[in-house]
Chain A
Amino acid sequence: MASALVPDAPVLEVRGLTVEYETAAGPVRAVDGFDLDVLPGEFVGVVGESGCGKSTMLFGIAQLLSPPARISAGSVSFRGRDLVTMTAKELSATRWRDLSVVMQSAMNALNPVTQLGKQFEDTMRAHGERSGEAIQQRSVEVLQLVGIDPVHLKSYPHQLSGGMRQRAMIAMALLFTPDLVIMDEPTSALDVVAQRSLMVQIKELQQRLGFAVVFVTHDMSLVSHFSDRLVVMYAAQAVEIGPTRAVFDNPGHPYTRGLLDAFPSIRGPRVPLTGIPGSPPNLLNPPVGCRFAPRCPHRFELCDAPPPLYEAPGSLAACHLHAPAVAEVSR
């Protein structure tokens, strides 16, 4: 388990992950050269709008993609072993024991005609746990961890509220004390109050049990208080990576700034908001240079070439405004 690791070596190293969907019109690159390191116990938020490739990226990490999607390049190294080249058998030994996934809609992820306890039991038996007593004990433990009364082991999913179902999904993900939990918008079907309460609980569990989290969401404000690091995705690529607070205080990419400026605030003065004009590019035929350039207010001649990740004041940003020569002039 975690003790086998060199301290502070990343638990997850994604390098150049590229996922393509085969379509009649040619391959669509939904994730394009994505890099990410996740340290043990770190909470990484990935934000982006619909169609930016954030969920495809998660599925690529967890090796849950199915045709027409496929990983066409890159590696996903989890605790030093490449998941992309693993056989199905090796994968199923690792998945859920060391790396678990919480899906967006718990209503669809839980079996509607099976009691919660039975689903927990199936999961543990599938991963080699034989003792009924141990299974029962662990099931009670994880439910208590997420604040659900263990009597609900006998409940069916429809007998639980939306928030409880999501909690049950998280309990299930924690059955084997994994090193990494991947979450795909687990709160998007919940109300603000339930959403807030679930986020607080995920954070508490994460700090107590020490697992790392990769949390994908379209709602940037949601992770603002919970994630250590933030990755902003746009049109299949990571456009900004940095400590969450720094990105919010000093966004390096014009897209990140646009996203932040689009949130109405309930506190402070009522300011006119603009949003971001235009819409994301078609990934079948993305712009050659910077993919945000057609919508960008700061566009200039360099933007015809694709920007690498530059050192920005608080983060790394894929924007030519931070190219050393340009940044020098503007200073």
Chain B
Amino acid sequence: MTQAAPAEQAGGVAGAPLIEARGLTRHFKVGGAIARKTLHAVDDVNFTIGDREIVALVGESGSGKSTVARLLARVYTPTAGDIYYQGKPLSGFRSRRDLLAYRSDVPMVFQDPFASLNPAYRVSHGILRGLALHRPDIPRKERRAEAERIVARLGLDAAGDVLDRFPYELSGGQRQRIGFAQALAYRPKLIVADEPVSMLDVSVRIGLLNLMAKLRDEQGVSLLYITHDIASARYVADRVMVMYAGHVVETGPVEDVLQAPKHPYTQLLLDAVPDPRAPLSVGPSSDRGEPPRVVDPTPGCRFRWRCPLAVETCSRITPELVELAPRHDAACHVAVAAAGRGNVAVRSDVAVRGA
């Protein structure tokens, strides 16, 4: 295949999804020269993101979700596997022109709105620079007007005024909107948003989640929404992927996964969410919420040490994603067996919910 810039070849390979990860793997070397070890941050991950779709990537810290974001943004290159953008492998984008075009199609929004804007420049700086770099079709004189249009679209009042302020003059919610404005200036296809609301107060979070849904509906932008807050994922996402210890353990339409979780980790995650509307129910919890071991992992399910359902097979064979309901996959030997789809002996005294 020729190395054409993605933006030039409209639509890319016909019928290909917007983004597809195949066998995506990223390892890091840790430890000194003598005790050299390998940390498996992301291991053999497969997923797709379609047009006009918000996909939530949910998991605890250390699950590898931010590494996936950085692989998508080309901050890291994969150890193995590849990401296909409109059917073309990212490893083929070598020239500055190709990478620039890809980055303008897939920008990132960061977690901390207090650290991600340069305090020495006015708010307009980042947006105007983005326009200069990624939108050569807009003449210099019209960039300012375009920046005002973008900012207004993000629900910031008195757009002209906001652009001339410094970041310290804005509230957290306003700053994060500016973060989205910078991304939106590139006319992106997919925005990778890494915990975009976790630093914000509850009362302003919802405004940003609504904004993300609006971008999808009105601008046709897809979003990868990375979060540890599965309740907010339900609110905004079309599909959800649950990551644990570098593996995707469950994926499916958001309501299906939340109402009928197949993987025991997803069930644990859902049970841990505090819900003020639910009646008082405080049971003793034996799970300490310890992070998984991903340094030089051995074969087998990585959740087995915390899993109430683990059987002998789980410590020998790494489970793979199996479709257990329409478009709803889980990587769990027990859930697969309970659905009558595998040959693993399941203890008779345990039941898998939703199976």
Q: Which residues of B contact A162 (CB under 8 A)?
A: 61, 291
Q: Which of B257-307 contact A (CB under 8 A)?
A: 258, 268-278, 280-285, 287-291
A219 touches B202 (CB 8 A): yes
Q: How many of chain B's residues have a CB under 8 angstroms from any CB in A? A: 45
How many angstroms between the C-alpha atoms of A37 and B128 in the bound complex?
A: 54
A266 touches B231 (CB 8 A): yes
Q: Is B228 in the interface zone, CB < 8 Å from A? A: yes
A221 touches B274 (CB 8 A): yes
B272 touches A192 (CB 8 A): yes
Binding site for A on B (CB under 8 A): 60-61, 171-173, 201-207, 209-210, 228-232, 234-235, 255, 258, 268-278, 280-285, 287-291
How many angstroms between the C-alpha atoms of A161 and B235 in the bound complex?
A: 31
Of all chain A residues, which has the CB nearest B258? A266
B270 touches A279 (CB 8 A): no
Which residue in B202, B210, B285 is a CB contact (below 8 Å) of A259? B202
Q: Is A270 in the interface zone, CB < 8 Å from B? A: yes
CB distance from A277 to the nearest CB of B (A): 8
Q: List 25 A-B contacts (CB under 8 A).
A: A50-B201, A191-B60, A193-B287, A194-B290, A195-B272, A197-B287, A197-B289, A224-B275, A225-B274, A225-B281, A262-B203, A262-B206, A263-B202, A266-B230, A266-B270, A266-B275, A267-B278, A270-B255, A273-B210, A273-B235, A275-B205, A275-B206, A275-B210, A276-B203, A279-B171
Q: Which residues of A contact B173 (CB under 8 A)?
A: 279
A238-277 toward B: CB 8 Å interface, digit per residue (1/0)? 0000000100100000000011101111111010011111
Q: Which residues of A contact B287 (CB under 8 A)?
A: 193, 197
Known A225-B280, A275-B205; contact A191-B274, beta-carbon cutoff 8 A = no
How many angstroms between the C-alpha atoms of A260 and B275 in the bound complex?
A: 10
B207 touches A275 (CB 8 A): yes
Q: Which residues of B contact A132 (CB under 8 A)?
A: none
Known A192-B228, A268-B277; contact A161-B204, beta-carbon cutoff 8 A = no
How many angstroms between the C-alpha atoms of A287 and B353 in the bound complex?
A: 52
Of all chain A residues, which has the CB nearest B229? A192
Which residue in A204, A220, A245 is a CB contact (below 8 Å) of B280? A245
Q: Which residues of A contact B285 (CB under 8 A)?
A: 196-197, 200
Q: Is A203 in the interface zone, CB < 8 Å from B? A: yes
Q: Which residues of A contact B204 (CB under 8 A)?
A: 275-276, 279
Of all chain B residues, which has the CB nearest A189? B61
A266 touches B234 (CB 8 A): yes
A142-167 toward B: CB 8 Å interface, digit per residue (1/0)? 00000100000000000001111000
A190-217 toward B: CB 8 Å interface, digit per residue (1/0)? 1111111110100110000000000000
Which residue in A204, A267, A270 is a CB contact (below 8 Å) of B235? A270
Binding site for B on A (CB under 8 A): 49-50, 147, 161-164, 190-198, 200, 203-204, 218-222, 224-226, 245, 248, 258-260, 262-268, 270, 273-277, 279
B275 touches A273 (CB 8 A): no
Q: Which residues of B contact A161 (CB under 8 A)?
A: 290-291
CB distance from A48 to the nearest CB of B (A): 9
A163 touches B290 (CB 8 A): yes
How many angstroms between the C-alpha atoms of A194 and B306 in the bound complex?
A: 12
How many angstroms between the C-alpha atoms of A67 and B3 in the bound complex?
A: 61
CB distance from B273 to the nearest CB of A (A): 5
Q: Which residues of A contact B278 (CB under 8 A)?
A: 267
A224 touches B284 (CB 8 A): no
Task: Name which of A161, A225, A260 has the most chain B CB atoms within 10 A of its CB.
Answer: A225
Q: Which residues of B contact A221 (CB under 8 A)?
A: 274-276
Of all chain B residues, which has the CB nearest A148? B288
Of all chain B residues, which has the CB nearest A245? B280
Known A221-B274, A264-B235, A265-B277; contact A193-B203, beta-carbon cutoff 8 A = no
Which residue in A193, A204, A263, A277 is a CB contact (below 8 Å) of B289? A193
Q: Which residues of B contact A264 (CB under 8 A)?
A: 206, 209, 231-232, 234-235
B284 touches A200 (CB 8 A): yes
